[in-house]
Amino acid sequence: MSDHMTDRAGLRGDCEQCFGLCCVALPFAASADFAIDKEAGKPCPNLRGDHRCGIHARLRTEGFTGCTVYDCFGAGQKVSQVTFGGRDRRTGSREDARRMADVFPVVRQLHELLWYLTEARALPAARPVHADLGRALEQTEALTRQTPEELGRLDVGAHRQEVNVLLLRTSELARAGIPGKKKNRRGADLMGARLGGADLRGANLRGTYLIAADLTGADLRGADLIGADLRDADLTDADLTDAFFLTQPQLNAARGSAGTRLPQSVTRPAHWTARL
């Protein structure tokens, strides 16, 4: 198995090995998250000639909070160094630069699936589907190594649906072993909800809208958080130990404290120590 499949070190963005693809390929609109509008495929004006951000240390104060939340799951370095063999988007052909911008979002989705599959396969409770998860992991990794032309034709949505069947089964198996009545809030609108101290152990929070929700001191141990929108959610002193399918971008978008307990797969965001 590749490094992607033995751990998730390769599923975190490594800007040193990337040609600033997220700063070029992705669009954003002037909002609370971004100070300006930018079209897809157009380099951000803050992107320097060495593919680094000119205001990286000041992104939040300069109005680019959205950039500090984002993570490519390692897709940037994969596209830069593997898909295009280290060819710089600026010095290569115009066609290569266009294809690089088109392929990057596709590989990013595949790498996010690798993140979930790697975690699912490591869960002891998911042993009944470990073989199927392993095959899906191998298949998804193989897809990330296709040519730019093949990636451009890939129906990534259909592949996500196939993988999601396994992830749903994994969630059921993992949460079944958690004692107590487990809440099902899948896809629920809980924006701004007052859930301080709530018992959400083993809860199904897949795709739940928790924007600006008060989750201070909430017990989220063993909860399924795949796709949950945690933007500006207050996780101060919440317990997310063994919560699964939680990603770094989700956590980066939330608020928390030194007392927030986290799974080992993610890191405490640096901005949690300061006022947002």
- pLDDT at residue 4, rounded to an integer: 42
Q: Which has the higher per-residue pLDDT, 89 or 67?
A: 67
pLDDT at position 276? 41
User: What was the pLDDT predicted at 7?
Assistant: 64
Q: Looking at the predicted structure, is the pLDDT value of residue 73 above 80?
A: yes
Q: pLDDT at residue 219 above 60?
A: yes
| Candidate ranges 37-41, 82-86, 137-141, 174-178; pick with highest mean pLDDT | 137-141
pTM of the model: 0.91
| Chain segment 221-270, per-residue pLDDT in tens | 999 999 999 999 999 999 999 999 999 999 999 999 999 999 998 999 98
Q: Give the pLDDT band (50/70/90) at residue 95.
A: confident
pLDDT 10s digits, 17-57:
999 999 999 999 999 899 999 999 899 999 998 999 999 99
Residues 6 or more apart whose CB falls under 8 angstroms from that of 264 comprise none
Q: What's the whole-number average pLDDT of the chain?
A: 92
In one-letter notation, the amino acid at residue 74 is G
Question: Per-residue pLDDT for 8 more than 70?
Answer: yes
Task: Say what the pLDDT of residue 157 is.
Answer: 95
| Percent of the chain surpassing pLDDT 90 | 83
Residue-wise pLDDT for 148-187, tens only, equals 999 999 999 999 999 999 999 999 999 998 988 889 999 9
